[in-house]
Chain A
Amino acid sequence: MEEDNNAFYLIPAASLMFMNDADRQSHIKELFLIPKSLRQTATSEKTAYYLKSIIKKYDLTPPQSRALALLVFKTILKKMQLAQMSSRMSETGLKPAMAVQLAKEIEKDLFAPIAQDFNISTPSSTTNNLLDLKEADKNIPSPNTPL
Chain B
Amino acid sequence: MRFDLLYSLSPKQLLVGCLVISILTPRLSQAQTRTIALSDLPPALAVEESAPELLKLGCEPVSVPSSEPKIVKVPVSKPQPVVSLATENAGLFTCPTNVIQQLSVKGQVEAIFVPILIAAGVGWAIGEAINYATGQPSATGIVASAAGETFLSWATKAVEEVLYWIARLGNYLVHKLAFFVSILLAAQKFATHPFVELGWPFVLGIANLGFIFALLLIAALATMRLEIGGGTRRLLPRLLIAALLVNFSLVVGAAIIDATRVLMAILFQVIGGDKLENIGAIIIRNSQIFTRAIISGGSADTTKIVSGAGVWDLLLTAVFLWLLVVALFALVAGLFMRYIMLILLLVFSPLAYLALSLPNTGNLAKKWWTTFLKYAFYGPAALFVLLLITVMPPLGDTMVGLFGVTNKFTNRMYYEVEALISVVIVIVLLMAAASIGRFMGIAGATAAVGFAAAQGKRLGRGTMHTAKRAGVGTAKGVAKAAYIGSGARKVVRETRAFGSELVKPVQKKFGLGKYSKFDEKGKLRDGKTSVGQSLGAAVGQRLPQALGGDRNKVQESTLAQKFSSAYGQRDIDVNTDQGKSAAIRNIVRRDAPTTDQLTRPDLVAKLDSKYVKDLLSIDVEGIQDQRVKQEVGTRQRALTSGLALNDSMDDKQITAVLESGNENAVKRLATNINIVNNMSGGQKAKILQFDNESIIDQFTRSLSRLENKNKK
Contact = CB atoms under 8 A, between A and B. Distances in A.
Nearest to B688: A43
Given A11-B688, A17-B707, A43-B688, A5 B693 contact: no
B420 interface: no
A14 B680 contact: no
Given A11-B688, A142-B711, A145-B710, A5 B696 contact: no
Contact of B700 (A7, A17, A145): A17
A32 B688 contact: no
Nearest to A24: B700
Interface in A4-18: 4-8, 11, 13-14, 16-18
Contact of A14 (B703, B710, B711): B703
Contact of B697 (A8, A28, A48, A141): A28
B681 A18 contact: no
A43 B700 CA distance: 12
Most buried by A among B681, B684, B701: B681
Interface in A103-139: none
Contacts, number: 65
Contacts of A40: 689
Interface in B658-712: 680-682, 684-685, 688-689, 693, 696-697, 700-701, 703-704, 707, 710-711
How would you classify the secondary structure of chain A's contact residues: helix, strand, loop or mixed?
A: helix
Given A28-B697, A142-B711, A13 B681 contact: no
A45 B685 contact: yes
A17 B682 contact: no
A25 B700 CA distance: 10
A3 B682 CA distance: 10
B217 to A, nearest CB: 54
B688 A4 contact: no
Given A14-B688, A45-B682, A142-B711, A29 B703 contact: no
Nearest to B703: A17
Contacts of B685: 8, 11, 43-45, 48
Interface in A30-72: 31-32, 40, 43-45, 48
Chain B interface residue number, banded: 10 to 19
A16 B700 contact: yes
A8 to B, nearest CB: 4
Contacts of B703: 14, 16-17
A32 B697 CA distance: 12
A32 B693 contact: yes
B688 A24 contact: no
Contacts of A5: 680-681, 684
B711 A28 contact: no
B693 A29 contact: yes
Nearest to B695: A28
A24 B680 contact: no
B670 to A, nearest CB: 12
A141 B707 contact: yes
A28 B693 contact: yes
A4 B700 contact: no
B693 A8 contact: no
B681 A45 contact: yes
A40 to B, nearest CB: 8
A37 to B, nearest CB: 13
Interface string B493-527: 00000000000000000000000000000000000
Contacts of B688: 11, 13-14, 43
Contacts of B700: 14, 16-17, 19, 24, 28
B694 to A, nearest CB: 9
B684 A8 contact: yes
Given A24-B701, A145-B710, A4 B682 contact: yes
A6 B680 CA distance: 10
A45 B689 CA distance: 10
Nearest to A25: B697
A18 B680 CA distance: 19
A145 to B, nearest CB: 7
Interface of B: 680-682, 684-685, 688-689, 693, 696-697, 700-701, 703-704, 707, 710-711
12 contacts: A4-B680, A5-B681, A7-B681, A14-B684, A17-B701, A17-B707, A18-B704, A21-B701, A24-B697, A44-B685, A45-B681, A141-B707
Interface of A: 1, 3-8, 11, 13-14, 16-19, 21, 24-25, 28-29, 31-32, 40, 43-45, 48, 141-142, 145
Given A11-B688, A24-B700, 7 more contacts: A5-B681, A13-B688, A16-B696, A17-B704, A28-B700, A48-B685, A145-B707
